[in-house]
Amino acid sequence: MPLLIFLKQPNRAIAVKGDRNLLDEGTLLKFDKVLATWFEKIDGGSVLIIKDNISHIEEISEEELKKQKAEYEKKLKQERQKSGQLVSPNLIFPRGGRN
């Protein structure tokens, strides 16, 4: 089941594969006095997250994750349009010729 890991700095969430057990002491890497662990990201690649930088973690279904991502992209597009940034339009051309 995917997880949303909310970070303190920067204030954002990262969607990763796995479960909450990845934060058990046995799976954490220790760098000097800092504890961290590797997560595989949903969209590919991996990320190293420091345990103290985690605000909270939510388990989320695949469907809910897709829904939230679509809503976020829609909101981002609307904000870009309001600020005057160029956005590629969705154009639909009719088939066939004119009569």
What confidence category does residue 72 fall into, taking pLDDT thresholds of 50, 70 and 90? confident
Domain span holding position 30: 3-83
Per the structure, the count of domains in the chain is 1
At position 78, the amino acid (one-letter code) is Q
- Specify the pTM: 0.65
* Closest to 47 (Cα-Cα) out of 85, 18, 26, 88: 18
Residues 5 and 53: beta-carbon distance below 8 Å:
no
The reply to whether 95 falls in a domain is no
Rounded Cα distance between 95 and 25, Å, is 61
pLDDT over threshold 80, residue 61: yes
Tell whether 30 is covered by a domain: yes
Does a structural domain hold residue 48? yes
* 16 has pLDDT over 70: yes
- Is the pLDDT at 71 greater than 60? The verdict is yes
In a domain, 99, yes or no: no
Give the per-residue pLDDT at 36: 86
* Residue 74 lies inside a defined structural domain of this protein: yes
Percent of the chain at pLDDT > 90 equals 4
* Nearest Cα to Cα of residue 51 among 36, 69, 66: 36
